[in-house]
Amino acid sequence: MNLVLFGVLAYVLLQFAVGMYVSRRIRTETDYLIAGRSLGYGLGIFTIFATWFGAETTIGAAGAIYTDGLGGGTADPFGYAACLLVMGVVFAVPLWRRGLTTLADLFGQRFSPGVERLAVLLMIPTSLLWAAAQIRAFGQVLSAASGMQVTIMITAAAVIVIAYTAFGGMLADAWTDLVQGIALMIGLAVLFWVVLADVGLEPLRQIPAERLRVFGGPDTPLLATIEAWAVPLCGSVLAAELVQRVIATRSPQVARNSSLAAAGMYLLFGMIPVTLGLMGPALLPGLEHPEQLLPRIAERYLPGVLYVVFAGALVSAILSTVDSALLVASGLLSHNLVLPLRPQMTEQQKVRLARWGVATFGALAYVMALYAEGVYALVEEASSFGSAGIFVALVIGLFSRWGGAPSAAASLVAGVVSWVLGAYVLGLAYPYLVSLAAALAAYACAALLEGVRGRALGASELAPTTAQSPPARTGASGSAGAL
């Protein structure tokens, strides 16, 4: 076993030990899923930052920018940093005040238990896709460190991640996110400093102008740009993984300020993989697997001990995200689907059920990771699948009383059906925008029909009362008109 692989495994075992130690404080389902709503600024900021700063930011975005320039990495870090900003400014406080345990609870509170269950069925695949992306990225890191096949390393990564997450729960996740966030920032900063000290600024000066276009070239259609930004913003601002971190904080002020601080950290440190991705063709031309760009740069420019630090940073980014995704998927299943059917369950049984859910979904995410084309593609799928209807229903439902359960259900179904048809059947150029429009139209039409039906029912209830009302009493003059 080489030094790097040994260091990475030692780091993972340390995280596992921290998770096991903290998990001893777990007594209830609330402790396991949202840390008893106890996170302060330190844990709140770092758990949001570390959860959001995943494989797509380090592995996926750097590889996409290596291939396509800034236009290939629109979502990361720019779109997802903006997503955290919007969460802090708009959504954090009202979500926290709802007293939620999972995001699906909001559908039950605002609409109906049936809509809540439908939303769960759409949100769980999203979490699985996100978890699969992280497991695949973990396998890429271990493969680069050990020289072994990616498939073998993805298998090893899945075993480690599933065991690590099942015992931890949200409280353990938050503490390990603190450690992982610090390691991530140190590792990326060290890599960037060493590369610049070695090659200087010349590779940056050599970057062609067309690779620096965030919004694509002059021939890029406006709708293509809007689509590229809508996926991370509308598709992820109400992601269950992010919401669960926000509602785990101890106050609405902590929820808002932690999201805003995490947005700034995300953009700052997310620019390091972006810059290295732009420099990549000059540093490592002709790379066969672009997603291995950062590990290959680190292997080339960092000495042994610093490379171990950087590998630990990549592992931090991955672990802090995959545990969130698996925990959310398990919570949606246990809390929103199983618990209503078995309300007599004890707190110990609820926690045990959630842990088994983590193991089950971890195995499914592993299978998806084996057959995925790449990390970045998986994350885009996760942000797009079913999220249009969820976004429309939650935004309208959170800030207004317009529309009820039929409107929300219509929006959810229209969003996912139109996206699947547009992306896989019709091959539309902008499937996510189409799904957003379809979800909004479905919600509006259903809400209007609800209003018409409500007025019709109201009129039918008033009609008998009017028909049976007694005649008006006459005044002293014997005539009603005299009054």
DSSP-derived secondary structure for 20-34: HHHGGG--SHHHHHH
* Domain-ending residue, one of 335, 357, 377: 377
- Convert the pLDDT of each residue in 347-369 to its tens digit: 999 999 999 999 999 888 888 87
User: Residue 425 sits in which domain range?
Assistant: 386-460
Same domain, 30 and 86: yes
Same domain, 365 and 390: no
User: What's the rounded Cα separation, in Å, for the pair 198 and 194?
Assistant: 6
Alpha helices in 87-199 (DSSP H): 92-97, 104-110, 113-146, 150-199
Same domain, 345 and 402: no
pLDDT at 472: 47
In a domain, 472, yes or no: no
In a domain, 474, yes or no: no
Same domain, 354 and 315: yes
pLDDT at 387: 86
In a domain, 468, yes or no: no
Assign 481 a pLDDT band (cuts: 50, 70, 90): very low
Same domain, 226 and 341: yes
Contacts of residue 140, Cβ cutoff 8 Å, sequence gap at least 6: 59, 150, 153, 289, 291, 292, 295, 375
Classify the C-alpha dihedral 197-202-207-209 as positive or negative. positive
Percent of the chain with pLDDT over 90: 39
Determine which of 77-81, 189-193, 372-376, 403-407 has the lowest per-residue pLDDT on average. Answer: 372-376
Q: Does residue 55 carry a pLDDT above 70?
A: no
* Domain-ending residue, one of 326, 356, 377: 377
Same domain, 307 and 449: no
User: What's the rounded Cα separation, in Å, for the pair 45 and 178?
Assistant: 9
Q: Does residue 483 carry a pLDDT above 50?
A: no
- Convert the pLDDT of each residue in 382-404 to its tens digit: 666 778 999 999 999 999 999 99
Percent of the chain with pLDDT over 70: 88
User: What's the rounded Cα separation, in Å, for the pair 385 and 28?
Assistant: 31
Residue range 200-213: average pLDDT?
A: 81
Q: Which residues pair with 249 in a beta bridge?
A: 39
Q: Does residue 296 carry a pLDDT above 90?
A: no
pLDDT at 480: 40
In a domain, 465, yes or no: no
In a domain, 475, yes or no: no
pLDDT at 428: 87
Ranges 196-200, 224-228, 287-291, 306-310, most confident:
196-200
User: What's the rounded Cα separation, in Å, for the pair 324 and 3?
Assistant: 29
Q: Does residue 217 carry a pLDDT above 70?
A: no
Query: What is the CA angle 217-432-314, rounded to 5?
Result: 75
Q: Are the C-beta atoms of residues 66 and 277 closer than 8 Å to each other?
A: yes
pLDDT at 476: 40
Residue range 341-346: average pLDDT?
A: 93
- Convert the pLDDT of each residue in 222-232 to its tens digit: 888 888 888 88
Assign 478 a pLDDT band (cuts: 50, 70, 90): very low
User: What's the rounded Cα separation, in Å, for the pair 75 and 260?
Assistant: 18
Bigger pLDDT: 392 or 165? 392
In a domain, 473, yes or no: no
Same domain, 77 and 104: yes
Kindly report the three-state secondary structure assignment for every residue of 176-244.
HHHHHHHHHHHHHHHHHHHHHHHHCCHHHHCCCHHHHCCCCCCCCCHHHHHHHHHHHHHHHCCCHHHHH
- Domain count of the chain? 2
Q: How many helices (H) does the chain have, and how many strands (E)?
A: 21, 0
Extract the tokens encoding 400.
């207004």
User: What's the rounded Cα separation, in Å, for the pair 174 and 288?
Assistant: 36
Bigger pLDDT: 141 or 234? 234
In a domain, 100, yes or no: yes
Same domain, 300 and 407: no
Q: Are the C-beta atoms of residues 117 and 337 closer than 8 Å to each other?
A: yes
pLDDT at 421: 92
Q: What is the pTM of this model?
A: 0.85
pLDDT at 415: 94
Same domain, 366 and 399: no
- Convert the pLDDT of each residue in 8-42 to its tens digit: 778 778 877 877 788 788 889 999 999 999 999 99
Assign 416 a pLDDT band (cuts: 50, 70, 90): very high
pLDDT at 94: 97
Same domain, 334 and 420: no
- Output the domain CATH number for residue 253: 1.20.1730.10
pLDDT at 243: 96
Query: What does pLDDT average to over the chain?
Result: 84
Q: Does residue 81 carry a pLDDT above 70?
A: yes
User: What's the rounded Cα separation, in Å, for the pair 88 and 257?
Assistant: 7
* Domain-ending residue, one of 357, 377, 397: 377
In a domain, 75, yes or no: yes
pLDDT at 77: 80
Bigger pLDDT: 136 or 380? 136
User: What's the rounded Cα separation, in Å, for the pair 47 and 242?
Assistant: 9
Same domain, 256 and 312: yes
Same domain, 217 and 160: yes
